């Protein structure tokens, strides 16, 4: 039995060249797939690490810009909004032993608010403010809030373990 010989078109490429091109395209698509997979894994890792760090009590703090008046207001705002990250950012000596999240939980439990009053003392690297600490379960407590300038030039608040002025 004889098979009819296929007629090759005059400008067609030999079959081995066509197969070679198909393999190159296949490798290219596999390469793009691997690259896309690596990118998705990298982005997912960054998101997971960001969420874990944001929910951690050991968040690295970043000093807020501004002078003593702005920092005192930022402190009062952190107490009002119950924000542990903001509280850590204004605290002169954030502590792992007394994390800001613990202070914030105490603020919420007692309905704590801080009212910033007038400046009491104004030195080059230290300013004090009259403050009134209000709680739903106690009478208003007058206190003093010290705002201190650090060596780097940024200002911070001297807080005790409860997150209230030391």
User: Which fold is adopted by the domain 68-157?
Assistant: Nuclear Transport Factor 2; Chain: A, (3.10.450)
Closest CA to 116 of 81, 161, 146: 146
Tokens of 15: 């079959």
Task: Read off the pLDDT band of 2 (50, 70, 90).
Answer: low
The pTM of this model reads: 0.61
- ∠ CA(25), CA(30), CA(31), 5° rounding? 95
Task: Read off the pLDDT band of 140 (50, 70, 90).
Answer: confident
- Per domain, the residue ranges of the chain are 15-55, 68-157
* Interval 9-58: pLDDT, tens: 556 666 655 566 656 666 667 777 788 888 888 898 887 776 655 555 45
SS3 29: helix
CA distance linking residue 141 with residue 7, whole number of Å: 101
Closest CA to 70 of 82, 81, 78: 78
| Residues near 81 by beta carbon (within 8 Å), at least 6 away in sequence | none
Task: Read off the pLDDT band of 158 (50, 70, 90).
Answer: confident
């Amino acid at each position: 039995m004889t098979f009819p010989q296929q007629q090759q078109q005059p400008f067609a490429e030999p079959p081995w060249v066509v197969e070679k091109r198909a393999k190159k395209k296949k490798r290219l698509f596999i390469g793009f797939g691997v690259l896309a997979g690596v990118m998705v894994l990298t982005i997912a890792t960054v998101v997971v690490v960001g969420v874990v760090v944001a929910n951690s009590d050991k968040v690295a703090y970043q000093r807020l810009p501004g002078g003593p008046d702005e920092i005192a207001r930022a402190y009062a705002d952190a107490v009002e909004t119950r924000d542990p990250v903001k509280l850590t950012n204004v605290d002169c000596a954030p502590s792992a032993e007394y994390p800001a999240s613990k202070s914030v939980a105490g603020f919420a439990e007692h309905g704590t608010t801080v009212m910033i009053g007038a400046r009491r003392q104004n030195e080059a690297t230290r300013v004090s403010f009259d403050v009134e600490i209000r709680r739903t379960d106690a009478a208003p407590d007058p206190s003093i809030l010290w705002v201190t300038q650090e060596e780097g030039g940024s200002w911070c608040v001297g807080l005790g373990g409860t997150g209230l002025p030391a």
